[in-house]
Amino acid sequence: MEFLWDGLRQAVDLLLSGDDQVLDIVWVTLRMAFWSTLLALAAGLPLGLLLGLARFPGRGSALTLVNAGMGLPPVIVGLVVALLLFRGAPLGWLDLLYTLNGVILAQAVLALPIVAALTASAVQSLPDGLLDQARAFGASRAAVAALALREARVGVLAATIAAVGSAFAEVGAVILVGGNIQGETQTLASAVLVHVSAGEYGTAIALGIILLGLVLLLAAALTMLQQRQPRTVLGRRS
């Protein structure tokens, strides 16, 4: 237990002292988590709405694929993305290998099926008559999709929390695609792995505590937004 308290004290010291290395790692981690989650939401929300609202041949197979995608091994995704980004590979011209943008791309690929599957599930759980009533009043497809997204916001925010958590926890894709380069592509999770491998357990615990603190803060903020009660007007939700 004393070992953990030593790690906690070291974490506080590292933050209060403004250690440049730690601040760089935190900044890289936050940038990676923000942009990868944003990309996953940009692609995953429309896909989830399509799978949750539309009826088309092969929809069941598509749902199966996105649900299976939630369990994709990160190291395999990282390997595939890295192979695609090598020079001479289909995406090699993007010059993203061993860059933060490459790590963001790999993490977005990992988070996309999480967002799509949870969004589709949330939309499918809406009351049957709600969207039918909107269609009956002449609502456009875009308006129906917006209504579904608003009414399924608890599930959508759960998908966002899961995507952010995945970004913070990821190690395999960071190392394979980004090379775990200090100051450029090294994140808190991959830095913990490096320090444990080097036998620097105190620093590893300190970085781990900082990582857990960030996860808890962002999860708390998103959960507060998720559980926020909608305004009511004349007894109706707005």
In a domain, 238, yes or no: no
The 8 Å CB, 24+ separation contacts for 23-26 are 24/182, 24/183, 25/182, 25/186, 25/187, 25/188, 25/191, 25/207, 26/188, 26/210, 26/214
In a domain, 233, yes or no: no
- Which residues in the chain land under pLDDT 50? 231-238
In a domain, 232, yes or no: no
Q: In terms of residue numbers, what domain contains 168?
A: 2-227
pLDDT value, residue 233: 37
Beta bridge partners of 142: none
pLDDT value, residue 234: 35
The number of distinct structural domains making up the chain is 1
Which residue matches tokens 């993490």?
107
In a domain, 237, yes or no: no
pTM for this model (two decimals)? 0.87
Where residue 121 sits, what CATH number does that domain have? Answer: 1.10.3720.10
pLDDT value, residue 200: 77
Are 159 and 114 contacting, i.e. CB atoms less than 8 angstroms apart? yes
Q: How many C-beta atoms surround the C-beta of residue 236 within 10 A?
A: 8
Pairing of strands 232-233, 236-237: antiparallel
Which residue matches tokens 């790690």?
7
In a domain, 50, yes or no: yes
Q: Coil, strand, or helix at residue 5?
A: helix
- Cα separation, 165 vs 21, whole angstroms: 23
| Alpha helices in the chain, H assignment, sequence order | 2-16, 20-53, 59-69, 74-85, 100-124, 128-136, 141-151, 153-169, 172-173, 188-197, 201-227
Give me 51's structure tokens.
Answer: 């799978």
What's the maximum distance between 2 C-alpha atoms anywhere in the chain?
Answer: 66
pLDDT value, residue 108: 95
Which residue matches tokens 């039918």?
132
- Cα separation, 40 vs 23, whole angstroms: 25
pLDDT value, residue 85: 94
pLDDT value, residue 84: 94
